[in-house]
Amino acid sequence: MDKGSKLFWLLISALMAASVLFGIGAERGRRAVQRAAGATLSTGDLVRLVTVVDGDTVVVAKGDDKATVRIVGIKSFPTDAGRDAAGGFGQAAVDALRRVLGDKPARVLMHDTKKDANGRHLATLFVDGEDVALRLVGEGAVLVYTVYPFPSMPTYSAAQDRARAASRGIWSNPAAAARADMLTREWLTEASP
């Protein structure tokens, strides 16, 4: 082998080793986050809002322990207003979630799959007996996330249809509605076997 080939293979070997080490480090970090997830949530638990991460994820407290909850069945636009025409609706979803949850206790209904790949609890939250996600869908603050089926999906879809027909929230803005339609089509493709 000539000197150039040896140098090439040495460089390739170094890059592969660095990739393996990076992957191991990333996996250790992911596992550490999952272990530090805090409270174990169960159906029926009462929790209180600590913070809203985005329009479909919150941090809640059960006693002194905290847990991150990915609310099942909904998806919000990103909160970065500069990202696309619908960006302002991401912040509106955060504000709506903060308003609906407020300082009231929320009851937890765990999803069949307890956690997602990021270690977040998958659950539906209820305040004063009302499904928080269903309310946000009805207000047009968030979209029904159809990639992963859930028992209330038909009810959520009907609420989204009513919000669209009434031009509420996302559906009041043609650019946001077009973005929502595009996402919905993508999700249908992802959900298909």
Q: What is the pLDDT of residue 170?
A: 95
Q: What is the pLDDT of residue 80?
A: 78
Residue 169 falls inside a structural domain:
yes
Q: Residue 149 gets which letter from DSSP?
A: -
Looking at the structure, do residues 66 and 141 belong to the same domain, yes or no?
yes
pLDDT digits (tens, 9 = 90+) for 44-93: 999 999 999 999 999 999 999 999 999 999 999 988 766 666 768 999 99
Residue with tokens 């082998």: 1
Residue with tokens 């696309």: 84
By residue count, the chain amounts to 193
Name the nearest CA neighbour of 183 among 95, 77, 80, 89: 77
> Could you give the percent of the chain with pLDDT greater than 90?
63
Q: What is the pLDDT of residue 33?
A: 42
How many domains does the chain contain in total? 2
Write the CATH number for 102.
Answer: 2.40.50.90
Q: What is the pLDDT of residue 13?
A: 79
Residue 41 falls inside a structural domain:
no
More confident residue, 88 or 43: 43
Looking at the structure, do residues 81 and 173 belong to the same domain, yes or no?
yes
Residue 6 falls inside a structural domain:
yes
Which structural domain, as residue segments, surrounds residue 58? 46-191
DSSP states along 15-69: HHHHHHHHHHHHHHHHHHHHHTT-PPP-TT-EEEEEEEEETTEEEEEETTEEEEE
